[in-house]
């Protein structure tokens, strides 16, 4: 059993979580933060709305 790398998308469980995470990315000074946040949210949304799951 190995240690799994941290992925914020695993913890974004709702639209509200995603909105707050994006807001934090926008408020952070470095410009890359919002891009990373957008990628994490996109992956999380894909997981939340996967066919056969309830959103």
pLDDT value of residue 52: 59
Q: Could you tell me if 37 and 20 are in contact, meaning their C-beta atoms sit under 8 angstroms apart? A: no
Taking only the tens of pLDDT, the chain with its 55 residues reads 789 999 999 999 999 999 999 999 888 766 788 888 988 999 998 866 655 555 4
* Sole residue written with tokens 């469980």: 13
pLDDT value of residue 41: 92
Cα distances (angstroms) measured from residue 44 to each of 15, 23, 30, 41, 52 = 10, 16, 22, 5, 16
Domain count, the chain: 1
> What pTM does this model have?
0.72
Domain assignment present for residue 33? The answer is: yes
Where in the sequence is the domain holding 21, given as residue range(s)? 12-48
Domain assignment present for residue 54? The answer is: no
């Amino acid at each position: 059993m190995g240690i799994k790398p941290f992925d914020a998308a695993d913890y974004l469980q709702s639209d509200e979580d995603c909105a707050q995470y994006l807001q934090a990315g926008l408020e952070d000074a470095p410009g890359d933060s919002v891009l990373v946040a957008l990628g994490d949210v996109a992956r999380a949304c894909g997981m939340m709305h996967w066919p056969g799951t309830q959103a």
